[in-house]
Amino acid sequence: MSWLCRIGTTGRGVLHMRKILAFLFAFTLFAIAPVPAQAQQSPGSQPGPAYRISPGDDLEIMVWGDERLHQVVRVLPDGSFGFPLIGQVMAAGLLPSELERVITVALKPQYRDVVPQVTVTVKSPNGYQFSVIGKVKSPGTFTPGRYVSALEAIGIAGGPTEFADINKIRIVRKVGGRVVTIPVDVGPALKGDFSHLTQIPPILSGDTMVVP
């Protein structure tokens, strides 16, 4: 906490210190507090997206009853991986449940009867990466191993600097062939108002957050 001490005791320093403490409290609350089931289903809530497979992820694939098909594979940069009996499988962008169905269909010619149950687990989500640039203390590219919200992403990047404009934060995201910008409103949370945490957008793989 030595960096807090260095802020000083000037009026501006004290104000900045209060903003940082509010941010840290909001970040911790958002990251660890369980969300009741009723809150998850309320019209204004925004649950995190289901994880979609990315290049670089490690997947554990099991075909129940056939030990030779118990594999741990890494998704290649082109989004595919090799699997016994069926060859290359395209996985990037799919939910694990969707990939289970793809593998099941591809294995069908190998079995006389019903294909054994296929399960896919993302063992290490190494492919989930995002960047935070601009007026944060530790800008860079991050691989947290789980989906995070925009507020958590700012915390991972060290929090906003003293002169950051927290009201103009944007997420830059590629959607198909287009680039879109998404406003991020963390101002209330930094001021101690935690009533809108569920409205803070999630960060998707490949996103860039800009803190001006």
Say how many CA atoms lie within 13 Å of 160 toward its Cβ: 27
Domains and CATH numbers, the chain: 2-47+128-211 (3.10.560.10), 58-124 (3.30.1950.10)
pLDDT score, position 11: 54
Rounded Cα gap, residues 114 and 28, in angstroms: 48
Using one digit for the tens of pLDDT, what is the confidence trace for 75-115?
Answer: 999 999 999 999 999 999 899 999 999 999 999 998 888 88
pLDDT score, position 48: 55
- Over 70: is that where the pLDDT of 20 sits? no
Rounded Cα gap, residues 65 and 116, in angstroms: 7
| Structure tokens given for 131 | 């960047």
pTM above 0.75, yes or no: no
pLDDT score, position 16: 54
| Structure tokens given for 202 | 């999630």
Q: What is the mean pLDDT of the chain?
A: 80
The model's confidence at residue 36, banded by pLDDT at 50, 70 and 90, is very low
Using one digit for the tens of pLDDT, what is the confidence trace for 186-204?
Answer: 878 877 777 778 788 899 8
Q: How many H helices and E strands in the chain?
A: 6, 12
pLDDT score, position 2: 44
The model's confidence at residue 63, banded by pLDDT at 50, 70 and 90, is very high
Q: Can you name the residues that pair with 136 across neighbouring β-strands? A: 160
Report, as an integer, the average pLDDT of 140-154: 90
The model's confidence at residue 28, banded by pLDDT at 50, 70 and 90, is very low
More confident residue, 158 or 22: 158
Report, as an integer, the average pLDDT of 140-169: 91
Rounded Cα gap, residues 11 and 118, in angstroms: 62
